[in-house]
Structure 1
Amino acid sequence: MSAIRYLSLFSGMEAAHLAWALLGWECVGVAEIDPAPCALLAHRLPHVPNLGSVTEITDEQIAALGHIDVVIGGSPCQDLSVAGNRAGLAGARSGLFHEQLRIFNAARTFCGARWLVWENVPGAFSSNRGRDFAVVAGALAGCELDVPRDGWGNEGVALGPNGLVEWSVLDAQWFGVAQRRRRVFAVLDTGDWAGRPPVLLEPDSLRGDSAPRRETGEGVAGTLTRSAGERGAEDGERGQLIPEIARCVTTGEAKRQDWETCTIIPAVAHTLRADGFDASEDGTGRGTPLVPVAFDCKASGRAGFGVGEIASTMRSMGHADSHQNGGSHLAVQQGMQVRRLTPRECERLQGAPDDWTLVPNAKGKPMADGPRYKMLGNSFAVPVITWIGERIQMAHTYRQRAAA
């Protein structure tokens, strides 16, 4: 069985490599333009080509990489995050999702790619009143989708001519790291998804250490069963809401569909809060990220404290008002004193090896703390990506293992 090969976009510190090298996967290319992560990639993965800006990657460059199974990328979230300006997919940064999809389509055409993994903040569900996530899920599936009347659920499935899309909000603290880091992941399978195990839609009890339990009957398990015909829907057709809780992708009880419409199946209902569904990054439902210890490295005077056992979401501090070596960082209280977390401690919160980001910078000098914080705040949590990789590998090889 040959190794799974993947292309990483918006690579940053390349958490995908840390996660998937453990599975024996091969990275065939990265794409990054920020000087600090470019220096890290050149140092840590010197034999892997850096394709540079996703806006300039050509079909010829993709084809030259050879066979590809998976394309992964977390297109920038500044325009979708509750901490950003909420410009949505019209924003210059978050609009790079469309470039990610363009590159995947090229990898599918020229290199046989089957899987696309996309990551972003849960604010994607509420951005532009939910219409932005409708664009994302619809573009992945290959159809148009309407926003559900009650908003997007934290988990769901969309089915269209491109294939099957699963999405789920995963929290890094479920996977053994001491950080609350809720992110929405979407996985597109353009291959033979019928009969294989689900990738993201697993019972919470199988996901990690302490994911919230669902009520009986709400867990998603089993195998995916093809209930649609082979004929795909025409581009531009509207999605149809299916009220069942993922029944037709888990039990095989759904009636036959002719794909005259794209179907979207909510897997679980979203969590209701006093002020609406949860689109925040930290799980509070209030739409504003909470930092358990507010510690300003630049300002004098006292800062407000609130220390918990699990760190809040690590942020890159790359917004317009933050200095690369200052700004607001996670902090810890020791006795009566407060200090910000060191880059090494932040690496541990992301599940990365100690000093992974401590590499020579573009000038050959040791990487400063500021760029290290930014890389770590922008990164995936490694154990989450490992789990997703394990699920993709199980689904990717399902037919081969079943025949053995």
Structure 2
Amino acid sequence: MRVLSTFSGISAASVAWKPLGYGFVGYCEPAAFQCHVLNQRCNATAPKYLPHGKGFERRKYGSIPGGSVVNFGDITQITDDDLRALGQIDVLEGGSPCQAFSISGLRKGLGDDRGNLTLAFAKLAARMREINGLRFVIWENVKGVLSDKTNGFGCLLAGLAGSGSGGHPVESPRGGWTNAGHVLSRDEHGNADVSICWRTLDSQYFEVPQRRERVFLVASFDGAVDAGSIFAERDCENRDPSSRRGPQQADAGSREIGSGDLIWPPVLGTLNASGAGMSRPAGQGNELDFVLVFSDGTVRRPTPLECERAQGFPDGWTDVAVGGRATLDIERYRGVGNSMSVPVMEFVGYRLLKAVEAAEQERMAA
């Protein structure tokens, strides 16, 4: 399964999916610190395209050496020639910026340039379906996207289902979008063309000590694979793909995260770009959820390492050199807080593989 990752950040998808056999042929991430992580952990290049505006000066990337996997940077500047050079792509993956749909970001939805990147993602998927034979899309965002007043989620569904920018958004049911759903699009002949399924998943149920509700969406352009089968769990046995992590990654949620036994809290609130310790009106848990209390009397905030573990990353994943200097804690907090939970991505990637294998077995038996 060949993957193009977008809005890659520090690439939870790479950590989760490479052990499953996925191959990453490209990344799209313009933020300087995250680009350094992608270079040192995933051998990605410096970004080919940078957004226009403050914060993306080319000098910030001068210390990134070589790299064998292209990082396109800004997804809006990817050309058709860029896509043709990639060849066949099975999966387009990404979590477009969530600030436009979160309370902390004032929930401007599609009235925010960051929200419009969701539409750019859908347009990229349509182009890749034509140029690269794209089979699947996996997208992630905050739960607030389901109640966005500008109906960004409905616009995304329309774009993925083939309506394109000239079509109308899919209207939400009365009362808004539910935490899980299934959409089937048919072509002009009435044949099933695109299936889309989404489900809200909480990281705390995937062996990491963090409450983190996120919407995961799968779109299938492969008529043999219904996206609904990815999230249709009929039992609990298939939830955990289990034991494909190395020793340093195993049991991230249960490992000791500091000196002394942790007695509070049992589960952290939702990590964000600040890491921990910031009063927030964003529904991300009580301030005390970010104070660690240990049996030896120690009271402190989580460290970047502990935040990595709360997201399921290998220890030190974000501890990289940036232009000859050591990384700053705030950079690590931001990278981890803006990323996805590795075990949840592992679950989604595993279930997609199982659905593809089942479809292939049915084809061979026919």
Report the TM range for the smaller structure's normalisation: 0.7 to 0.9
- Is 1:71 aligned with 2:31? no
Alignment-mate amino acid for residue 187 of structure 1: V
Pair 330,59 (structure 1): closer, same or farther in 2 beyond 3 Å: farther
In 1, distance between residues paired with 2:203 and 2:8? 19
Q: How many residues align?
A: 296
In 1, distance between residues paired with 2:29 and 2:213? 24
Pair 111,191 (structure 1): closer, same or farther in 2 beyond 3 Å: same
Alignment-mate amino acid for residue 340 of structure 1: R
- Alignment map for 1:381-400 (pairs within 5 Å): 381-400=341-360
- Quote the residue 2:6 is aligned against: 9
SS at 1:93 equivalent:
helix
> What is the deviation of 1:138?
2.6
- Quote the residue 1:283 is aligned against: none
Percent of residue pairs bearing the same amino acid type: 38
**TM-score, structure 2 as length reference:** 0.75
Alignment-mate amino acid for residue 93 of structure 2: I
- Quote the residue 1:36 is aligned against: 33
- Quote the residue 2:202 is aligned against: 171
Alignment-mate amino acid for residue 4 of structure 2: L
- Quote the residue 1:51 is aligned against: 72
Deviation per residue, 1:9-50 (Å, 9 max, x gap): 011111111011111110000011100010111111222111
Pair 370,60 (structure 1): closer, same or farther in 2 beyond 3 Å: same
- Alignment map for 1:272-351 (pairs within 5 Å): 307-317=264-274, 330-334=290-294, 336-351=297-312
In 1, distance between residues paired with 2:325 and 2:200? 38
Alignment-mate amino acid for residue 172 of structure 2: V
Name whichever structure is richer in helix by fraction: 2
1:155 to 173, 180, 188: 180
In 1, distance between residues paired with 2:227 and 2:31? 38
User: CA-atom RMSD, angstroms?
Assistant: 2.3
- Quote the residue 1:354 is aligned against: 315
Deviation per residue, 1:102-152 (Å, 9 max, x gap): 2222221111111011110000111117x2222222322234422211222
Pair 330,208 (structure 1): closer, same or farther in 2 beyond 3 Å: farther
1:137 to 157, 165, 169: 157
SS at 2:100 equivalent:
coil
Q: Identify unmatched segments of 5+ residues in structure 1.
A: 210-305, 323-327
In 2, distance between residues paired with 1:342 and 1:108? 42
In 2, distance between residues paired with 1:314 and 1:43? 24
1:60 to 54, 62, 81: 81
Pair 357,100 (structure 1): closer, same or farther in 2 beyond 3 Å: same
